[in-house]
Amino acid sequence: MDDTIHVRTFARFRELFGDGLEIAVAAPATVRSVAAELARVNPAGARELLDGEGNLSKSVIVMVNRERVAGAGREDVPVHPGDEVAFYPPVAGG
């Protein structure tokens, strides 16, 4: 059974955290608990991901199952086993 969250990271975040991580978090999981677990495993990257109060830094973009979650309260969006959660810095294509 698929009981982990698939975490994707890109660009500078991929270098800090690695891509394609499988993270186990206690249910009910949220974007916040996934980010907290990433930060716990990788304190060096934590400062890029979280602000001083444990919220995601404003510039960090989050997707759950390839859809952006934005706005106040985005940390509280629920995630479920098997979901894909992506964290990445501002985009710079084109």
Partner 1 sequence: MIRVTPDDFDPGDLITRARQKDVGAVVSFLGIVRDDGIEGMDVEAYEEVAEGDLQEIAEEAEAKFGAIHVDIVHRIGHLSVGDDIVLIVVGASHRKAAFLACEYIIDRIKEQVPIWKKEHSQDGSSRWVQGEH
Q: Residue 83, Cα to own-chain centre: how many angstroms?
A: 11
Residues that bind partner 1 (CB under 8 A): 8, 10-12, 14, 61, 63, 66, 86, 88-94
Instruction: Please report how close the Cβ of residue 70 comes to partner 1 at its closest, in angstroms.
Output: 11
17-36-64-89 Cα dihedral, nearest 10 degrees? -50
When the beta carbons of 35 and 64 are compared against partner 1, the nearer one is 64
Instruction: Please report how close the Cβ of residue 27 comes to partner 1 at its closest, in angstroms.
Output: 25
Closest CA to 18 of 35, 40, 47, 38: 38
When the beta carbons of 52 and 90 are compared against partner 1, the nearer one is 90
Instruction: Please report how close the Cβ of residue 28 comes to partner 1 at its closest, in angstroms.
Output: 25
Q: Supply angle C-alpha 61, 53, 81, rounded to 5.
A: 50
User: Rounded to a whole number, what is the largest CA-CA distance in the chain?
Assistant: 40
When the beta carbons of 28 and 71 are compared against partner 1, the nearer one is 71
